[in-house]
Amino acid sequence: MSRCKNCTNKLSFEKLEKVIEKYKDKEGALMPIMHEAQEIFGYLPIEVQNYIAEALKIPITDVYGVATFYSQFSLKPKGKYNISVCMGTACYVKGAQKILDRLKEELNVEVGETTEDGKFTITATRCLGACGLAPVIMVNDDVYGRLVEDDIPGIIKKY
C-alpha cells in the first residue's frame, strides 16, 4: 500500500493500520475507520483515503463519497482553533453575518479556510443550539454569545 507522500509520520500510518485491523471484517467499517483516521491525521488527505480504500478493497470513490457527503469529515487541514459561526435564524437576524464578515476580515480567510499559520479555521454552521445568546460563535468548545463586531478582535487574541 502506498504511503502518504507528504507525510513523514510513519507512526500515524501504523496507528491507521491498527484501526483498519480492528474494523475491517465488520459490516459498516468505513465510517468508524474514517472517523479514527481523521482523529489521527487531523483531516482526510487523498493519500489516507487511498490507503483506506486499498486496505478495505473498495473503490476510492466510495471513501471520497463518504468524506464529501458528511460535514464532519474534512479534506483540508484544520486550524488548531475551529471558529464556528452560527448562521441559524435567531443568530442571523441578530447580526451573525456581520460577525462572520469581521472574522473573515480579521483573519484574512474565507469560510472553510485555515489561516496561513495553521491557527484558525472558520466554519459557518446552521445552529449551535444557543439561540438565547444570539449571535453566537464557538471557538473549539468555548461559546461566545450576544456578540457585536467589535468583540471579535478580543476573542481572537485569547487564542
**pLDDT one-digit tens code per residue, 81-117:** 999 999 999 999 999 999 999 999 999 999 999 999 9
76 in a structural domain: no
The residue range of the domain holding 149 is: 81-157
113 and 61 fall within a common domain: no
Q: Is residue 5 part of a domain?
A: no
**Judgement on whether residues 102 and 150 belong to the same structural domain of the protein:** yes
On whether residue 1 sits in a domain, the answer given is: no
Statement: residue 2 has pLDDT above 60: no
Shared domain for 98 and 63, answered yes or no, is no
Question: Could you tell me the three cell numbers for 143?
Answer: 461559546
pTM of the model: 0.70
How much is the pLDDT for 72? 83
Output the domain CATH number for residue 119. Answer: 3.40.30.10
Q: How many domains does the chain have?
A: 2
Q: Helical H runs in 43-151? A: 46-56, 60-69, 89-93, 96-107
54 and 101 inside one domain: no
Domain annotation covers residue 75: no
Backbone angles phi, psi at 59, to 5 degrees: -65, 145
Q: How does residue 10 score in pLDDT terms, banded at 50, 70 and 90?
A: confident
Among residues 15, 8, 7, 80, the alpha carbon closest in space to that of 45 is found at: 7
Q: What is the pLDDT of residues 34-75, one digit of tens each?
A: 999 999 998 999 999 999 999 999 999 999 999 999 878 999
Same domain, 94 and 54: no
